[in-house]
C-alpha cells in the first residue's frame, strides 16, 4: 500500500494546503469575484468587529491558517494507507466535504458575501484544491509502510 501521514505531519500538511488554497483563492477572487478582502475581513470581523479593515483581514488570515491546520491534522489522523492515486481521490473528496460543510452549516457564521463567493464555481474549485494539496503532501512526505 501507499503512504500514511502521522498526526504531527497534519500540521504542516494543513499549512501547505492552506497556503495553496489562499493563493489560488486570492487569484480567483481578483479575476472572477469581488476581491479577497470580503471573505478575509468577514472572517476577521468575527474576532475584531470594531477593528480596522487591515486588522480584520490579518485576523482572517490567521483564522484561515488555524482552520487549515486543524483540518490537516484531522485528515492525517483519518487517512489510511492508500495508493498514491487513491490518496489524491480521497483527499479531493475531503476538500469537497469541507466545501459542503462550509456552505450548508457554517454559512450562518460568516458574511453573506463570503458565502456567495464560496458558492461560486471557482470557490468550489478552491476547496477541491485544498483537499488535493493535502493528498499531494501526503504522497510526498507520508511515511512508507514498514513492509516495503
Identify which has the larger pLDDT, 77 or 49: 77
Question: Quick check: 3 and 140 in contact, CB under 8 A?
Answer: no
**15, pLDDT greater than 50:** yes
**Interatomic CA distance for residues 142 and 57, integer angstroms:** 33
For the stretch 90-145, pLDDT in tens is 999 999 999 988 887 766 666 666 666 677 788 889 999 999 999 999 999 887 65
Instruction: Locate the domains of the chain by residue range.
Output: 9-141
Largest distance between two CA atoms of the chain:
56
**Interatomic CA distance for residues 114 and 128, integer angstroms:** 17
Beta bridge partner(s), residue 143 = 4
For the stretch 51-97, pLDDT in tens is 777 788 888 888 889 999 999 999 998 888 888 899 999 999 999 99
Place of cell 504531527: 8
Note the pLDDT of residue 2.
57
What values do phi and psi take at 45, rounded to 5? -65, -20
Note the pLDDT of residue 142.
85
Amino acid at each position: 500500500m501507499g503512504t500514511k501521514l502521522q498526526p504531527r505531519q497534519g500540521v504542516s500538511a494543513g499549512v501547505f494546503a492552506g497556503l495553496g488554497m489562499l493563493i489560488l483563492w486570492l487569484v480567483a477572487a481578483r479575476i472572477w469575484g469581488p476581491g479577497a478582502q470580503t471573505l478575509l475581513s468577514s472572517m476577521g470581523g468575527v474576532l475584531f468587529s470594531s477593528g480596522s479593515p487591515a486588522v480584520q483581514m490579518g485576523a482572517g488570515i490567521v483564522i484561515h491558517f488555524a482552520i487549515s491546520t486543524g483540518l490537516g491534522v484531522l485528515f492525517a489522523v483519518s487517512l489510511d494507507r492508500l495508493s498514491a492515486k487513491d490518496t489524491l481521490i480521497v483527499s479531493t473528496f475531503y476538500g469537497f466535504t469541507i466545501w459542503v460543510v462550509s456552505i450548508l452549516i457554517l454559512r450562518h457564521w460568516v458574511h453573506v458575501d463570503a458565502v456567495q463567493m464560496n458558492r461560486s464555481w471557482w470557490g468550489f474549485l478552491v476547496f477541491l484544491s485544498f483537499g488535493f494539496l493535502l493528498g499531494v503532501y501526503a504522497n510526498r512526505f507520508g511515511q512508507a509502510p514498514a513492509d516495503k
